[in-house]
């Protein structure tokens, strides 16, 4: 009876250990992030100081982090209200990104895969292609159907996330997010 209890405990412990690792690594690494609004970044990804969760997650997804002279990737999976981004809804992304020589804004699947090219429009836009507002900020619409102004197509995918890649940026060295400006993501309409 005692031996049985120990055996059962050992098996249970291993199962719980593996399951909890799987659950943690399935999602974006929750540790060592910089976060503001709906946006998250991992400035130490790919460096020797990287935390083991981020490293394990990058190993699992097959992603290679940007180098320190290259840039920083920020991800948003929710709107500012906290709801998961859906490809069926219409969002406006408006504001400014941290200072960078170049940035790109990309709609990808919620797991980070590139989506197939849409029938109209584009999935990604660069800072040199974007039409800016009078005050230097920008507004981008995310929607499955064409929108006036800057527009990224979310056609054909239910769960999406938004990736902002900042190239040649000082944002990597920012640890306190006080001067870290990110665009707001607001849901406009959902069918």
Partner 1 sequence: MSIADELRTSRPFLSWGTLGSLLAWALGVVLLAAAVHIVVVFMVPRMTTSDGWWRIANATGQDGFTLLAPDGKGPAIAGLDPLFVHGACRLSLTEAPASLSFSGPNSFWSLALYLKRGTVLFSVNDRTAIEGQLDMLVVNPIQNTILKESAAAELEETIVVEAPQPDLIALVRFYAPTPRERQIAAEHLEQAECAPAPIQPAG
Q: Which residues bind partner 1 (CB under 8 A)?
A: 5-6, 9-10, 12-14, 16-18, 20-21, 24-25, 46-48, 50, 52-53, 55-56, 58-71, 73, 101-102, 104, 106, 112-114, 116, 123-126, 128-129, 165, 167-168
User: How many CB atoms are located within 10 Å of the residue 100 CB?
Assistant: 19
Report the alpha-carbon distance of residue 133 to residue 119 in Å, rounded. 27
Residue number with CB closer to partner 1 (90 or 123): 123
Q: What's the min distance (Å) between Cβ of 189 and partner 1?
A: 26
Our CB check for partner 1 shows the closer of 6 and 134 to be 6
Bridge partners for 72 per DSSP: 166
- CB of 63: closest distance to partner 1 in angstroms? 4
State in angstroms the smallest separation of the CB of 26 from partner 1: 12
Burial 139-151 (b: 16+ CB within 10 A, else e): ebbbbbeebeebb
CB 124 within 8 A of CB 173: no
């Amino acid at each position: 009876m005692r031996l049985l209890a120990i055996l059962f405990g050992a098996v249970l412990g291993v199962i719980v250990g593996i399951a909890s690792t799987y659950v943690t690594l399935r999602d974006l690494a929750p540790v060592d992030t910089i976060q503001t609004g709906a946006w998250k970044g991992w400035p130490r990804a790919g460096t020797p100081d990287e935390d083991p969760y981020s490293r394990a997650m990058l190993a699992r997804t097959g992603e290679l982090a940007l180098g320190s002279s290259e840039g920083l990737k920020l991800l948003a999976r929710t709107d500012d209200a906290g709801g998961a981004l859906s490809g069926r809804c219409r969002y406006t992304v408006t504001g400014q990104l941290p200072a960078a020589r170049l940035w790109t804004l990309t709609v990808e699947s919620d797991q980070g895969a590139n989506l197939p090219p849409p029938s109209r429009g584009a999935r990604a836009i660069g800072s040199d292609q974007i039409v800016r507002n009078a005050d230097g900020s920008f507004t981008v619409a995310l929607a499955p159907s064409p929108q006036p102004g800057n527009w990224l197509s979310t056609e054909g995918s239910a769960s999406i996330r938004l990736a902002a890649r900042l190239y040649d940026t000082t944002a990597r060295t920012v640890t306190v997010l006080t001067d870290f400006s990110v665009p707001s993501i607001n849901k406009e309409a959902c069918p």
